[in-house]
Amino acid sequence: MSLTGPYDPDNIFAKIIRGEMPAVKVYEDDRVLAFMDVFPQAEGHLLVISKASQARNLLEAEPEAVEDLALASQRLARAATKALQCDGITVTQFNGTAAGQTVFHLHFHVIPRWADRPLAGHASGKMEDSAVLQGLADRIAAAL
Ligand code: 5GP
C-alpha cells in the first residue's frame, strides 16, 4: 500500500481495538491503546495506537492524535525502562511501504534496547509466546 489511499477499517489494529482480534494489552484509555508487538524486535517491544483517529500514518494524523500518541509513548517508554532496566529505548514509527510500514493504522513503536543485544528484524522473525508477552506486559503496566 502506498503513502496515500483509503483507510481500511478491517486492518489488524482496527480489529484489535474492536476486540475482534486478541492482543496483550498494557494500557488503554478512550483515545489510545498500548499492547505488546507479537513479532518483537526486542524484549518488551510495545505498539501505541490511536483509538480516535483513522489516519493511516503520521502525515495524515490530526494534531490531537499525534499529541495523544507522543504523550502515551513517553509514558510507556518511561515505564518500560523502569520495569525492564534497559540501557536505552527506541521510539519510532514508519510511513508507507517504502519506509517499512506494514499495518496502515497510526501507531508508534516503543522498543527497549540493551547494549549487548542486537535488534531483531522489523515485522519479521519469530512470533512470541503469549504467556511471555503477558509477563512483560504485567511488569510494564505495574511501572506506569
Ligand atoms: P509497522 O510495520 O506498520 O510499523 O508495524 C506493525 C507492527 O505490528 C509490526 O512490528 C508487527 O510485528 C506488528 N504486528 C503485526 N501483526 C500483529 C498482530 O496481529 N498482533 C500484534 N500484537 N502485533 C502485530
Work out the widest C-alpha separation in the chain, in whole angstroms.
41
Q: What is the pLDDT of residues 74-131, one digit of tens each?
A: 999 999 999 999 999 999 999 999 999 999 999 999 999 999 999 999 988 789 999 9
pTM of the full structure? 0.97
* Angstrom distances, CA of residue 136 to CA of 87, 94, 127: 17, 24, 15
| Residue 13 in contact with ligand 1 by CB distance below 6 A | no
Instruction: DSSP letter for 99, please.
Output: G
Q: How far is CA 94 from the centre of its chain?
A: 11
107 in active site: yes
The reported pLDDT for the residue numbered 2 is 75
Give the Å distance between the CA of 121 and the centre of ligand 1. 12
